[in-house]
A and B are shown apart, each in its own frame.
Chain A
């Protein structure tokens, strides 16, 4: 079973909160404070669910997805975008197809775990996502 999850968010407390929730649910979590860190994890062989914050300084969520696709690091992953209400979405053009879901900030622990478990099941059962 692949229980691996990655949180990509520039806010330390958001990362810590997700970490606490995941550890309470016995889910493996990798943390990345930026797009480049996320890419590093992927290059090191990470495969799983990526919780991606959109608004990050420098390389934002969309830039990171673009880089993943361009470097062939996308396959085998599920991307869930973390977004605030009414945030600008001008850059999502042409990249929506790489995003499986959106989760609106702020979110509660139950909502997060429910969503993660759903996508883990999806990731672990169908052959499409296995390599």
Chain B
């Protein structure tokens, strides 16, 4: 582009200089012709001046003679030192005149440099040669006393035809050509000025062109930078489908640098089938107006498949015929993935809500038929004395209890799984104390004592409702598996930025292989044991609750018969403002 421009500027400058030179040459030629014409004019004037001189002579007489060293015309008119005739000629024609006797000036109004008439000086040069050598007239330019004149010399003959003198008329070239020279100077000055202006204009034009060229290049560089900075592939094609512009993202997409890409068509870059498809689409866009947007899937040079949106528009020349098209490829892979993820999450959410409402309904529907069972079984029992019947009723009551427990625990599990609770500062010791109270009946059943050693000023981030449920489950479990008349110890201490809580019983303990499994749904350490009051959901619920609190829960047991300790971690609420912490444990129940 730059080379092209400098070529143009050389051509322009050369043409401008040539035109200026031609102009000056033409004016020179013209001025030459004018001068020639002026010279001819001068000659003609000398001719008529000469005629006038002869006429003046003729008035004085017809014959010339030299007598006693003087030149006479007619009978008595002495020409020597008589400036009458030359001065009259000067007055009439403007030409100076001289009368020669022999070759000596005897009357003249040609002046010496000192202002005196040049009488007594001699004729020299080609005029002398013509008059005295060849006996002919002389017309033309001649130097007189060193000054160039336009001249006319005629020989003067005596009555015998002998040349005895000569007549001269002439004008100083400098005087005659003065006006011409003035015009000449003016015209030359004007033509030089014009030529200079012309060349200057050409130079200026080139300068302006160069500047605009630089500005255009800067603009192009800026545009390219702008395009390259845009992460979406951008391209344009000419009317024949050849790429004529693209950005970095497009090069990455095709996997070919721009210098190899520009000038290529889709057929050079993609397999024939795909190229034909692209060409058909482009054809449609070229024929329609406005921006066409369509979704597609493309394979990048690195082999990855991308979901993209093509934005394409045809651009038209001043006549309205399609001159090419521009295109932007918008990568919507991530958006698509996010959309899919969103709809998956929404479906999951919907499903979990459905499960929750189903469980609530199921819970209610179970509680309703359980109510007559719970109401009537004890009444029947009161009226029955037969031990066999009483045992049967007891089994019925236990089964009803189990159904009730299952319904409750399933509902708990669904409710704590259906969404993350809002975590607020909770006073852990109070929550634990409250749960102890709630399970007091279960503890009393086996004579188990609960020691709450959790520091009273320990705050954690949690849901009071869920933490209460957590303690209730852990304590119910511990009460069931602790030694009869044994102890349960609750403890908590900050550790590694978290609060580590433990619930320790002194019961039968767990096998090492069961330590991780106890948190699974419906897991029972001893499947053979017909414990109708457990559902195998308690620790699974605890695990979910701790997950909701971004904590960890695990079980430790030194071995069979040496008790079990359940550990879990919670986030401390140490920097919570005092007013955010409730003063009373309040309604921790569900």
Contact = CB atoms under 8 A, between A and B. Distances in A.
Interface in A53-81: 55
A24 B369 CA distance: 21
Contact of A20 (B368, B371, B376, B407): B376
A108 B327 CA distance: 77
A74 B378 CA distance: 33
Contact of A11 (B363, B368, B374, B407): B368
Given A106-B370, A106-B404, A84 B375 contact: no
B1 interface: no
Interface in B342-374: 360, 363-364, 367-374
Nearest to B397: A108
Contact of B372 (A16, A82, A87, A110): A16
Contact of A86 (B368, B375, B590): B590
Given A85-B408, A110-B378, A17 B363 contact: no
Nearest to A105: B367
B400 to A, nearest CB: 8
Interface in A67-115: 82, 84-88, 105-110, 112
Nearest to B373: A106
A105 B371 contact: yes
A85 B413 CA distance: 13
Given A21-B379, A24-B379, A109-B378, A85 B371 contact: no
Nearest to B415: A86
Interface in B240-277: none
B464 interface: no
Contacts of A88: 360
B107 interface: no
Contact of B375 (A55, A85, A87, A109): A109
Contact of A107 (B374, B411, B412): B374
A17 B380 CA distance: 11
A109 B382 CA distance: 11
A108 B411 contact: no
Interface string B371-411: 11111101100000000000000000000100010011001
B363 A85 contact: yes
B141 to A, nearest CB: 131
Given A86-B590, A109-B378, A110-B378, A17 B372 contact: yes
Contacts of B411: 85-86
Contacts of B367: 84-85, 105-106
A108 B590 contact: no
A105 B376 CA distance: 13
B376 to A, nearest CB: 5
A81 to B, nearest CB: 13
A17 B378 contact: no
Nearest to A10: B368
A82 B370 CA distance: 13
Contacts of A112: 375
Nearest to B368: A11
B364 A108 contact: no
A16 B369 CA distance: 12
Given A85-B590, A86-B590, A20 B369 contact: no
Nearest to A13: B372
Contacts of A21: 375, 379
- Central interface residue in B369, B372, B373, by most chain A CB within 10 Å: B372
A122 interface: no
B364 A55 contact: yes
A77 B379 CA distance: 28
A45 B411 CA distance: 40
B533 to A, nearest CB: 15
Given A20-B376, A21-B379, A106-B404, A87 B363 contact: yes
A28 to B, nearest CB: 18
A106 B375 contact: yes
A13 B369 CA distance: 7
A18 interface: yes
A84 B363 contact: yes
Interface in B39-65: none
Interface in A6-30: 11, 13-14, 16-18, 20-21, 24
The 8 lowest CB-CB distance pairs between A and B, nearest first, are: A106-B374, A17-B375, A84-B367, A106-B370, A17-B372, A13-B372, A105-B367, A106-B371
23 contacts: A11-B368, A13-B371, A14-B368, A14-B375, A16-B372, A17-B371, A17-B372, A18-B375, A21-B375, A82-B371, A84-B368, A85-B408, A85-B590, A86-B408, A86-B412, A86-B415, A86-B590, A87-B360, A105-B371, A107-B374, A107-B375, A108-B378, A109-B379
